[in-house]
């Protein structure tokens, strides 16, 4: 049975990804900043949970030690900053910590096992707001962080062997706490491409950017 870690998996898109992977027979571990929220979500989808703050390297190290090896890593956790890009250095640092440095450290810790066993899938939940083709037009530091996550996707896919696949995806505008109630997509719709990439066949792509299972421009 494949094991998958989904960060920020206690609600929204992350919870839908966790549910989708569990429904497909994966042993799923939900990473959440709140141990209680993670456990409540895990019970809901038939998974387990680990306390994990992706902005904190020590929390990442503890979580990795607690859960051991995984076959699939879904870097889903994200934050939406406020204000202008150059207004608040702390906001910028937080965005980069959650959406770039945290995913990098999780990949650093977890991909060696994937390489050793000759199989792995890394899914970086990104956004069209981080695409240069769309003007990197996300609010505050969000777009810049997602653009950096896209760059991490490309560079790490080039670094890792082809049987450890690293891809990014855009879920679209989703009805979550971040997206708001007026969004035009359900969490399940937003999660579909991430679930597909997490269960990608051996001949599937790596180092690409997808929405609705179709490749899109960086």
Q: Are 153 and 207 in contact (CB under 8 A)?
A: yes
Beta bridge partners of 64: none
Q: Which CATH superfamily is domain 3-215 in?
A: NAD(P)-binding Rossmann-like Domain (3.40.50.720)
Integer Cα distance of 65 and 60 in angstroms: 9
Q: How many Cβ atoms sit within 10 Å of the Cβ of residue 27? A: 16
pLDDT at 95: 97
Integer Cα distance of 181 and 200 in angstroms: 31
Q: Which residues are catalytic?
A: 142
- The pTM assigned to this predicted structure is 0.95
pLDDT at 144: 97
pLDDT at 174: 64
Q: How far apart are the first and last CA of the chain?
A: 33
What H or E segment, with its residue span, contains residue 43? helix 35-45
Helix pair angle (12-23, 35-45), 10° resolution: 40
pLDDT at 215: 98
Beta bridge partners of 6: 30, 74
pLDDT at 181: 66
For the chain, domain boundaries: 3-215
pLDDT at 4: 98
pLDDT at 113: 98
pLDDT at 141: 95
Tens place of pLDDT per residue across the chain (218 aa): 999 999 999 999 999 999 999 999 999 999 999 999 999 999 999 999 999 999 999 999 999 999 999 999 999 999 998 888 999 999 999 999 999 999 999 999 999 999 999 999 999 999 999 999 988 988 889 999 999 999 999 999 999 999 999 999 999 756 666 666 666 677 799 899 999 999 999 999 999 999 999 999 99
């Amino acid at each position: 049975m494949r094991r998958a870690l989904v960060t920020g998996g206690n609600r929204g898109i992350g919870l839908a990804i966790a549910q989708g992977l569990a429904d497909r027979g994966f042993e799923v571990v939900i990473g959440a900043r709140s141990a209680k929220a993670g456990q409540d979500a895990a019970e809901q989808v038939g998974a387990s949970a680990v306390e994990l703050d992706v902005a904190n390297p020590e929390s990442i190290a503890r979580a990795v030690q607690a859960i051991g090896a995984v076959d699939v890593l879904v870097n889903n956790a994200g934050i939406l900053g406020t204000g202008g890009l150059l207004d608040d250095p702390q906001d910028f640092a937080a965005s980069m910590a959650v959406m770039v440095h945290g995913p990098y450290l999780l990949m650093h810790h977890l991909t060696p096992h994937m390489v050793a066993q000759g199989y792995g899938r890394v899914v970086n939940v990104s956004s069209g707001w981080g695409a240069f083709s769309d003007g990197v037009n996300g609010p505050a530091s969000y777009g810049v962080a997602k653009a950096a996550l896209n760059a991490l996707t490309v560079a790490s896919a080039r670094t890792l062997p082809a049987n450890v696949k690293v891809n990014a995806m855009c879920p679209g505008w989703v009805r979550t706490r971040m997206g708001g109630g007026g969004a035009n997509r359900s969490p399940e719709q937003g999660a579909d491409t991430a679930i597909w990439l997490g269960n990608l066949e051996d001949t599937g792509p790596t180092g690409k950017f997808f929405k609705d299972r179709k490749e899109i421009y960086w």
